[in-house]
Structure 1
Amino acid sequence: MNRLLTQPLPTLGLYIHIPWCIQKCPYCDFNSHAMKEPLPETVYIDTLLNDLQRDIEEWEINRPIETIFIGGGTPSLFSAQAMERLLNGIQKQALLAENLEITLEANPGTFESDKFADFRRIGINRLSIGIQSFNDRHLKTLGRVHNSAEAMRAVEMAFRSGFDNINLDLMFGLPGQSLHEAIEDVETAVKLSPAHISYYQLTLEPNTWFHKFPPSLPQDEDIYRFQQAGQRLLSEQGYRQYEISAYAQQGKICRHNQNYWRFGDYLGIGAGAHGKISLALPDNIIRTMKSKRPEHYLQQQDSKSSVKIDIAQLPLEFVMNHLRLKSGFTAKHYRAVTGLGMETLEPALSECVNAGLLIYDNEIYRCSERGWNFLDSILEKFIA
C-alpha cells in the first residue's frame, strides 16, 4: 500500500489531564483521585511541561496547536498562578494558533468559582462546568460536592468574569428521576443561556461504585422519553445537536472535542492522558498513553507507552469517531486523515446505505435517524 504523504496532516490539539478531585463521584470512571494532601501544583506543572517537551521532540511536532483542553479530575482546584505558569510554558515550547481555544473543566463549588476571573485573565476562554443536575436530591445521590444554589452562582460568576463560551454538563436517567425533573434540569440550564450544553445519559461504568452497588435507575422506555423531551426542548431554544451528547448555540461548538470525532491529532500530557499523532499516512498513526497513577507519573515510572494503529483497523476507528457527528463525513476528509481510499470502507458502507442506516447526499455520508439510534449495529459492519 502506498503512503499518502501530502500535507497538511490532521488538525492538532493538546489535552492536559489533572487527576485530582475533592472526592471521587460514584459514577465516575475517569482517571481521578480524591485529594488526600495538598496538591503538588509546582512539581506537577513541571512534569507536564517536561512531558510536552519530550512529546514534541519525539514526534517532531511542527504543526500549530489549535485547541487546548484541561480536563480531569477537577483542574479548577489548581490555582490561577499554576495555570498561568503552565500556559506560559506551553507557549515557549509549542507553536500556537492565533485563534486558540483553551477550555478548562471546573466544578461549581465556591472554592473554584471564586477563581473564574483569574482564569479568564490568563487567557482561558472556554469554561466547562460540571453541573450534572440542578436538583439537590439528585446531586446528593451523584456524590456531588455542590448544591443547586452553588451551581447557579457558578454560572453567574463565569459570565461576570468575562466568559462568553460556557458549557454546562447535564445528566439524565438519574436514580429516581422523573420526566418532570429531567425537563426541569434542561429548562434551568437554557434559562442561564450557556453557549453549549452536554446532555448525556448516566451509565453504570465498570470499576465505579455505582457498578459495584447499582442504584435503581428509571426504565429504558422512560430514559428514552427523558432524552427525546430534553433534545426537543434544547432544539426549540436554539441549541443544535452536532454530536451524540453535545448541543451548541450558533458558532459555539467545542472545537477540541470536534477534532477528536473528526479523527484529528492531539497530544496528551498528564497522568493517564491519551494522545493520537499522525506521522505518515496511513502506516504510521500512533496512539499514546501516559502513566495513570499520579505518583508514578510524577516519578516518571513507566511514564508512557505508544502503539501504532493497524492499517486494517483504521476504517473502524474512523467511523467509530466520525459517525458521532451529525454532519457526517466526505470521501475527501476520509482520505485526508487516514491516507486510505474509499474502497477500504466497502462493502460495509454500501450495506449501511442500502439498509437505511446511513444516508449519502451531496457527497456526505451521515447517519439516518434510524442509524443514529443503532450506531453499534453500524460499527459492527466495519470490524475487520
Structure 2
Amino acid sequence: MPEINDLLPLRLPPLSLYVHIPWCVRKCPYCDFNSHEFAAGEHIATHHTTGTEPDGGQLPEVDYVDQLERDLRSQLPWVQGRKLGSIFFGGGTPSLFSPAAIGRILDLAESLVGFHEGIEITLEANPGTFEQAKFAGYRSAGVNRLSIGVQSFDPLQLRNLGRIHSGSEAVTAATQARSAGFHNINIDLMHGLPGQSETDALRDLQRAVELGVEHLSWYQLTIEPNTAFYSAPPVTPGSEQIAAIQQAGRAYLAEQGYSRYEVSAYSRAGLASRHNLNYWSFADYIGIGAGAHGKFTLTESGRIIRTQRTRAPRDYLALGCGMGEGGLEFPTPKVSEVAPAERPLEFLMNSLRLTAGVPADTFPAYTGVPLAALAREWASLQAMELVAPIGPDIVTTPFGYDYIDEILQRFLRAK
C-alpha cells in the first residue's frame, strides 16, 4: 500500500442519514441488532418523561426525539454543505413511534441538513395491526418507502422465528401500505429456515411477488453470537439444500422481473434502494440514535472517520444531560479513523457486494489511494476469472460474485 505522502485528494461522496429506533415488542431469537423489548400495549409517552428508559409503561418518544436532534446537531460540522439523498429509519421497530414523531425527525433533518429533490425516505415496519393503522400518517409525514419485516408467510416458520404476526397480517400490511399511498414497498424474507424445503422457500417468494412489491430483501438465516438461536441453534438445511434454494429463488425472481443488484437485494427496474446503494458505494452517512454508526469523509484533513453512539437506550438518553446551559451540550460520538492502509479493503468489502460494481474513478476519489494499489492482486484474480478488468467499473465476474469472501481474503493478506 502507498505511504501517506502518496495519497490523493479526497472527494466528498453523497450523504445519507440513518436513524435508529432501538425498541421492539419482542426480541426475535435470530436478531443480533441493537434492539430492546418494549411490551405490546404499553403506552408511548407523547410528553417529556422524567426517566431515561421505558418506565411505568411509557416509551420515551419525545425525549428520544429531543436527543436525536442534539445528536444530529453535534455532527453538522461533518456535513460540509451536502444535502441528504436518502434517510432510513431502522431498528428495533421504528413503527412503534407515532407519525408525529417521525415527521418531527424529518423536519429537523430537512431544516438542519437539507434534502435533495426526490429524496428516498424509508421506514421499517412490522406487519402487526398496531403499525398498519399508522401507515397513512407516515406517508403524510414524508416517508415514501416502506420496508415490511415479514420474514415468512408460513405459520410454522413464523413460530420458529419468534415472530408475533401471522401470514395473513403480513398480506394485509402490504395491501394497506399500498392503500395508504406507498408506491415503493420492500418486503424482508428469510430462507434456509428450519425444515424449509425448496418448495416452501419458493412459496414465500411467490406470495411476496403476488403482492406486487417493488423490492425484496431475501437473505439466508444465519446464527449470530449473542442471540437466542446461538445458545440453542435450530436445525437448518444443509449447504447443498441451501444452494438449491438460492438457485431456484434467484431464477424465479429474475423471471418475475426482479434484478439482483446486491447479495440479498432484488428490485424492479429503477427501484433499487438508494440508501443501500449509497452504503455499498463507500459513500458517507450520518448515524443518529442508540448504537448508530456513521461515516464521514473530511476533505480538508484527508481523513475518513467512523462514528458510533453508545448502544443502551438508557445510556444514550443520558448523554449530555445536565451539561451546559439548559443541558443542551451533547458530546460527539465515539470516533475512529479509517487509516489509509485500511481503505482499499473497506472500499472493496462494500463495492464488490454490488452486482454492477462501482465506477472505477470512485476508488481513488473516495479512498485517496491510487488505483495502482489494487493492480497486483487484481491481475491475479483476473487470471482466475474472478474479477473483470478494471475499466469503467470495479466489478467481479458473474462467476467471481459467488466467491466475494475469497476475493477479499486476497486483499486482506496483501494489506
Q: TM-score, normalised by structure 1?
A: 0.96
| Residue type at the aligned position of 1:43 | D
Change beyond 3 A, Cα 1:210–1:163: same
Structure 2 equivalent of residue 380 of structure 1: 409
Point out where structure 1 has 5 or more consecutive residues left out of the alignment.
Answer: none
* CA distance in 1 between partners of 2:25 and 2:10 (Å): 47
Pick aligned residue for 2:381 from 346, 352, 374 = 352
Pick aligned residue for 1:289 from 300, 303, 308 = 308
Structure 2 equivalent of residue 364 of structure 1: 393
**Structure 2 residue 355 is matched with structure 1 residue 329:** no
**Structure 2 residue 215 is matched with structure 1 residue 188:** no
**Structure 2 residue 311 is matched with structure 1 residue 311:** no
Structure 1 equivalent of residue 189 of structure 2: 170
Pick aligned residue for 1:35 from 30, 34, 38 = 38
Structure 1 equivalent of residue 43 of structure 2: none
Structure 2 equivalent of residue 44 of structure 1: 64
* CA distance in 1 between partners of 2:249 and 2:368 (Å): 39
Q: Aligned ranges for residues 68-83 of structure 1 at < 5 Å?
A: 68-83=87-102
| Residue type at the aligned position of 1:98 | E
Q: SS in structure 1 opposite 2:247?
A: helix
* CA distance in 1 between partners of 2:300 and 2:6 (Å): 9
**Structure 2 residue 46 is matched with structure 1 residue 26:** no
**Structure 2 residue 297 is matched with structure 1 residue 278:** yes
Q: SS in structure 1 opposite 2:311?
A: coil
Matched residues, percent identical?
A: 47
Q: Aligned ranges for residues 1-384 of structure 1 at < 5 Å?
A: 1-2=5-6, 4-5=8-9, 7=11, 9-36=12-39, 37-57=57-77, 59=78, 61-280=80-299, 283-300=302-319, 304-360=333-389, 363-383=392-412, 384=415
Instruction: Give yes or no for contact 1:283–1:310 (8 Å, CA) kept in 2.
Output: no
Q: Deviations over 1:100-147 (max 9, x none)?
A: 110000000000011101100111000000010010110011001100
Q: SS in structure 2 opposite 1:194?
A: coil
| Residue type at the aligned position of 1:147 | S
Q: Deviations over 1:240-272 (max 9, x none)?
A: 000000000011000001111000000000000
Instruction: Give yes or no for contact 2:286–2:296 (8 Å, CA) kept in 1.
Output: yes
Q: SS in structure 2 opposite 1:359?
A: coil
Once the two structures are TM-superposed, the CA of residue 329 in structure 1 deviates from its matched residue by: 2.7
Once the two structures are TM-superposed, the CA of residue 53 in structure 1 deviates from its matched residue by: 0.4
Bigger mean CA deviation after superposition, 40-49 or 348-357:
348-357
| Residue type at the aligned position of 1:84 | G
Bigger mean CA deviation after superposition, 276-285 or 116-125:
276-285
Instruction: Give yes or no for contact 2:351–2:358 (8 Å, CA) kept in 1.
Output: yes
Q: SS in structure 2 opposite 1:382?
A: helix
* CA distance in 2 between partners of 1:170 and 1:296 (Å): 32
Q: SS in structure 2 opposite 1:153?
A: helix
Bigger mean CA deviation after superposition, 17-26 or 89-98:
89-98
Q: TM-score, normalised by structure 2?
A: 0.89
Point out where structure 2 has 5 or more consecutive residues left out of the alignment.
Answer: 40-56, 321-330
Between the two proteins, the alignment pairs up a number of residues equal to 382
Instruction: Give yes or no for contact 2:16–2:284 (8 Å, CA) kept in 1.
Output: yes
Q: SS in structure 1 opposite 2:59?
A: coil
Q: Deviations over 1:150-190 (max 9, x none)?
A: 00000000100000000000100001111111010011111
| Residue type at the aligned position of 1:345 | L
Q: SS in structure 1 opposite 2:183?
A: coil
Bigger mean CA deviation after superposition, 337-346 or 23-32:
337-346
Once the two structures are TM-superposed, the CA of residue 303 in structure 1 deviates from its matched residue by: 6.8
Instruction: Give yes or no for contact 1:4–1:282 (8 Å, CA) kept in 2.
Output: no
| Residue type at the aligned position of 2:63 | V
Once the two structures are TM-superposed, the CA of residue 38 in structure 1 deviates from its matched residue by: 2.2
* CA distance in 2 between partners of 1:104 and 1:199 (Å): 18
* CA distance in 2 between partners of 1:129 and 1:21 (Å): 14
* CA distance in 1 between partners of 2:286 and 2:74 (Å): 11
The structure with higher relative contact order (CA 8 Å, sep 6+) is 2
Once the two structures are TM-superposed, the CA of residue 359 in structure 1 deviates from its matched residue by: 1.5
Once the two structures are TM-superposed, the CA of residue 364 in structure 1 deviates from its matched residue by: 2.4
Instruction: Give yes or no for contact 1:3–1:280 (8 Å, CA) kept in 2.
Output: no
Q: Deviations over 1:289-328 (max 9, x none)?
A: 0010000000017872010101001110001100000111
